[in-house]
Amino acid sequence: MTINRVASYGAQYLDAETLEHLKQTLTDLYGLKGSVFEQYVKFWSRLLHGDFGPSLAMFPTPVMEVISTSIPWTLGLLVMSVFIAWLIGNFIGGIAGYFSEKRWAKVLSVIAATIYPIPYYFMALILIIVFGYLIPVFPIIGGFSIGMQPSFSFSFIVDLIKHAFLPSLSLIIVGTGWWFLSMKALSSTTKSEDYVQYAEAAGIPQSKILFGYVMKNSMLPQFTNLALSLGGVFNGALVTEYFFAYPGIGQTLYMAVTNGDFNLMMGISVFSIFAIASAALVIDLLYPLIDPRVRYR
């Protein structure tokens, strides 16, 4: 829709001078003032300042205001889900890798290999059917109950957890499968290292070998993967938010796509790229604190 068409809607109610002022205001608002090169320079100037313009679907609300409203929900849901899946998957996977010949370890490996390929949204659909209809225990839509005012009260926090339980569980189940398999593979390889064989021959307690030698050294690559997972909270897991109508970035992105809100789509995409790059940078800077073999010079 051109600026002239937008301005023409109010032409019958405005005089020529006011209409021209409205046209100039809209032209400047959408970054269409000046030549193409000038528009390009102004676009990058606004982009570097975090100004993506107004949301076309929620005009005239700025894109950054829309994102800042949704991002706490996504961070609270996805970051906690990633952490929980990471802890559970690595702990169980490390033990299963060390005792890889045990029957229970093989059974867990089969279960994890079955769960891991399941898409997040398919797992969400299963949980909705089971706990939303067959066994209606948890709410299946929204971030909190209708009519409840956000606060730090006990009742609101409990309601918040109940609404976040199913979307979080869908992410934890699938995520745990991946962390289990990767940690099991790492710990199985570490178990065959010479220093582990020497520790076993020296009669060091098995629990100390497991946690002090095998799991401790196997965890190093997992810290890097954790940083990338945290930076990628804007990945396909956002579809889960749409399934549960959760008021996060996923729901906002779906609304932007369906409404053709290009400014909002661009803002979310840039935010996603920045998050992944920042997470990778932070883990590179902190890695010497995790791995004593790496030192700054």
Report pLDDT for 22: 59
Q: Would you say 176 and 123 are in contact if contact means Cβ atoms under 8 Å apart? A: no
Average pLDDT over residues 271-281: 77
Per residue in 21-52, pLDDT (tens digit) is 656 666 666 666 667 777 777 777 777 777 77
Mean pLDDT of the chain: 78
More confident residue, 177 or 47: 177
Closest by CA to 113, choosing from 179, 20, 160, is 179
List CB contacts of 271: < 8 A, sequence separation 6 or more.
67, 71, 234, 249
Per residue in 248-260, pLDDT (tens digit) is 887 788 888 888 8
**Is a pLDDT exceeding 50 seen at residue 9?**
no
Closest by CA to 264, choosing from 109, 47, 89, 55, is 55
How many Å apart are CA 180 and CA 176, to the nearest integer?
A: 6
Give, in degrees to the nearest 5, the angle at Cα 52 between 48 and 58. Answer: 160
**Is a pLDDT exceeding 60 seen at residue 11?**
no
Report pLDDT for 233: 59
Domains parsed from the chain with CATH numbers: 3-48 (no CATH), 63-290 (1.10.3720.10)
